[in-house]
Amino acid sequence: PWGAALLGAALGVPSCGSPPFSTSGARSAKSRRFAQKRALTERQLTRYFVDHRKVRVIGGHGGGGGHSFYSEPRKEFGGPDGGNGGDGGNVIFKADRQMRSLSSILPFYQGFHGERGGSKNCYGANGVSMYIKVPVGTLVKEDGKIVADFTRHGEEYVAAYGGAGGKGNRFFLSNENRAPTFFTLGEPGQERVLHLELKTTAHAGLVGFPNAGKSSLLRAISNAKPAVAAYPFTTLNPHVGIVHYEDYEQVAVADIPGLIRGAHQNRGLGMAFLRHIERCRFLLYVLDLSESQPWIQLQALKYELEQYKKGLSKVPCVVVGNKIDLTQSRINLPLLKEQVDDRVIALSALTGDNLEELVLHLRELYDSYVKREQSQGKSPVKW
């Protein structure tokens, strides 16, 4: 038997009961190919979500001017022919809607240098501009002053200009000086220290205290997957979910990490995430209806927003009473409607009760925002 097996192996004949070729490698490769990436936890996501960056940018140096004299047979004194150097490349920030964080921004950038001028009046090549992609909603500050505000996809801002190229000795040719030996070096690029600050751009913002159910609500009306757990400050980073409609319109809803009383004084997560509410066109105040006197939550939330920025609590809004599936919530709902002037939508993000009313009203707020922008000659933000 051993001899037959060895003979079969030598002839390439498969042994009895075994497949003619191995498929384990193909199966494992296929499983790896179609395996989905594991969802990042909030703690892991914190390492990737960065909304502050300090960046030092330097434009490219200009190339030096050339220094040479033309010479060939029977034309020994052809005169100066050193060309000018190329200009240094600029460093440019460009808004890109695909970017969601400043985590990929490096602390230092320098533009490409211009090339030196050559002989035979050849000019040096200019340095290529360096483009740095930043998320839409990024503020660029210098010495505390805003120098750029990216609100649209594709917007650009020159962060540092490249230096001018030097002049070759051909440039200094004159009747008085027929053989100039003088040339200039290229200028250094502009150097700046800039602060980048990201403010999430979304149509609607979910505002509420910890454990009010904001993340559960966002998971229910969109494909976003923020972490959900029964402890405060589960959400540590803003999440943006997209609500799709039949006419292909998309409304972006941002889940802002939970606020606490005194957030405008930098308590809790504090002002680190209050700024993400500024860019929202309308707000959804998410209240926990199971707590006693839920209207007190609304008053506290509006107070924090108003203390952070004047008029922020006056933007169009709707009050969302969450956890209507609980008995105490049904008792508190009529009391809340008596105390609140804004529209109240009672729902349950856990069971999905009355989510349709919120989605339809969300579209009404979005349509009002679009009409308001168009009436003022502005183009509304699209996702």
pLDDT of residue 334: 92
Fold equal for 48-200 and 204-376:
no
Output DSSP code: residue 200: -
pLDDT digits (tens, 9 = 90+) for 84-95: 999 999 999 999
Of 91, 70, 83, nearest in space to 115 by CA: 83
Give the count of alpha carbons within 13 A of 239, CB side only.
25
Beta strands 138-142 and 191-198 are: antiparallel
What is the CATH topology of the domain spanning 204-376? Rossmann fold (3.40.50)
Output DSSP code: residue 228: -
Q: Which regions of the chain does DSSP assign to beta strands (E)?
A: 52-58, 91-96, 108-110, 130-135, 138-142, 145-149, 156-160, 191-198, 204-207, 239-244, 250-255, 282-288, 317-322, 344-346
On the 0-12 / 13-18 / 19+ scale of CB atoms within 10 A, 292 is exposed
CB 60, CB 110: distance < 8 Å: yes
Residue 266's contacts (CB-CB under 8 Å, 6 or more residues apart) are 272
pLDDT of residue 11: 44
Q: How many other C-beta atoms lie within 10 A of the C-beta of residue 77?
A: 9
Please give the Cα distance from 311 to 319 (Å, whole number).
Answer: 18
Distances in whole angstroms, Cα of residue 169 to Cα of each of 72, 75, 118, 179: 18, 19, 11, 8
Q: Rg of the Cα trace of the chain? A: 32
Of 241, 161, 231, 150, nearest in space to 203 by CA: 241
pLDDT of residue 38: 54
Q: What is the DSSP string of 16-72?
A: TTS-SS--HHHHHHHHHHHPPPPPPPHHHHHHH---EEEEEEEPPPPPPPP--B--B
- Tokens for 16, please give them: 């009895």
User: Within the chain, which residues score under 70 in pLDDT?
Assistant: 1-49, 226-237, 258-273, 383
Of 113, 107, 109, nearest in space to 188 by CA: 113
On the 0-12 / 13-18 / 19+ scale of CB atoms within 10 A, 217 is buried
Q: Name the pTM for this structure.
A: 0.67
pLDDT of residue 201: 75
Edge to edge, the sheet with strand 156-160 lists 130-135, 91-96, 156-160
Question: What residue spans define the domains of the chain?
Answer: 48-200, 204-376
Q: How many other C-beta atoms lie within 10 A of the C-beta of residue 22?
A: 9
- The class level of CATH for 48-200 reads mainly beta
Output DSSP code: residue 226: -
Quote the distance between the C-alpha of residue 169 and its chain's center: 48
